[in-house]
Chains A and B, each alone.
Chain A
Amino acid sequence: MEKLFQAANTSGSISGPPSAREYFNDRLFRSIALTSAFLIIVLVAYILWEIGREAMPAIGEYGLGFVTGTTWNVSKGEFGVLPEIWGTLYSSLLALLIGGVFGIAIAIFLTQDFINHRLATVFRTVIEMLAAIPSVVFGLWGIYVLIPLLKPGAEWLHDSLGWFPLFGTNLSGPGMAPAALVLAIMILPTVAAISVDAFRRIPYKVKEAAYGMGTTRWEAILKVMLPTASSGVLAALVLGFGRALGETMALAMLIGNANQISLSLFSPANTLASLLASNFPEAGRIEVQALMYAALVLLAITFLVNVAGLAVQQYTIRKFEGKK
């Protein structure tokens, strides 16, 4: 018996204690892995530090007035991003309104036995492909398909309902409406995917119990499934909102880059991300600092929204998996 054991050890059998070399390799590899994980933390810290450091002079110079100011005048050295903050939030909220409704409807459509498995797979593929189309391609599509399509409708709305603030101006090409619509299409897959996940987490028994009480399908969905999935759906909406806030290219191509605050859906506007995209490459020293400050504002907004979304999502997962 003992002899066998020794033989096994020396001839490199499949089991045995690690050799000194293996032990060393193990240590080395583990420290490399640890370093890599640590690098993620360093990276985020470095990003914050670098953008913060570059923004510091502007923060000192303009303070909070930067966030409430409405002019962006390089030659006079006046910088304010209120119109861009407004444009970012307004376009994202509009997108969330449209993309959210559609995204949740699609999640319900895919999970609540409306269609058979095969057709559901087809639809899921369609939504995933929508997510795969690059932002610039949507921008191009927006310029040559969406804007010409929207113009007659916008003109009619402005002419007949011009007193209503949402239709207060005419659509002269790029503007809030095409930008928000494209944004809605772009966040729809995010909202749909996370909502699908939320609906899937509901134990099947819950739905069966509802049907057993004689509810119609929609009574079950609206009164049982949706409330049960609500926190997950909320997470989907918040994360979709976060995605919308940071979207750049399609917006830079469609929103019209106008430094103004307007409720009208058809008036041009600007967002923080497209301000960066259009002004950054040519900015001088002073303007770069102001833009870094703007980047920091964008970073802060998206960070808060994303952390909120992640927290709600985490809460949902715990809610279901904890009670199991």
Chain B
Amino acid sequence: MLEIRNLHATVEGREILKGIDLVVRPGETHAIMGPNGSGKSTLANVIAGREGYEVTEGEILFDGKNLLEMAPEIRACEGLFLAFQYPVEIPGVANLYFLKAAVNAVRKYRGEPPVDAMDFWELVHERMELVKMDESMLKRSVNEGFSGGEKKRNEVFQMAVLQPRFAVMDETDSGLDIDALRVVADGVNALRGPERGFLVITHYQRLLDYIVPDHVHVLFNGRIVRSGGKELALELEEQGYALYNEEPGRARRAAA
């Protein structure tokens, strides 16, 4: 459902992604691991369509459609979701209002009428339980004054309500204690299914104990230098990224 071909991207003229190839099929969960500065978040932002990232070569297809030509909101309406590494605080916009606006934007795009108020309320309540979110958070402004854990839970909550077909989780584990990590992972796992794809971006193997991926890729210096099964994550946990830091050539050979 997501095909990335030879993706090169620059930020402020500096090339960060240097030729990424990645295919995620429906039902699959892929993990992207890598040290700081390897290009993980750039990849997430390019997929979501953030300004300031220039794709200089390659393409991304989403169900065969050219993703890079779509505005960020169109990507979302097509079923793409980015769980932000740093969710933005939006004072003055209530969480529930925001969520309803998002749900209705997607429905409008699909030619559907606005969501029925009762149906929406039921959906929200059901999904709130999933991430153990308190109802008071619905009335508060989007992410304003939320703790790090609350912000990440709010991301998973939004995902659970919007029910995208493909979700990119950008370092959703960073800054979470083990309980919060478990809640977030449970939320993601509950959404996994044969029609849905996930790209889980993380620095640490820890998250992958809870969200067990089908495939693991190591991103280093803008390239995927190694791909494997879930056991690759464990290997990285033991050996760290030192191997790639010191001898990227050898790592690439190992990947080949």
Task: Check if A and B associate.
Answer: no
Which residues from chain B sit less than 8 Å from chain A, CB to CB?
none
Which residues from chain A sit less than 8 Å from chain B, CB to CB?
none
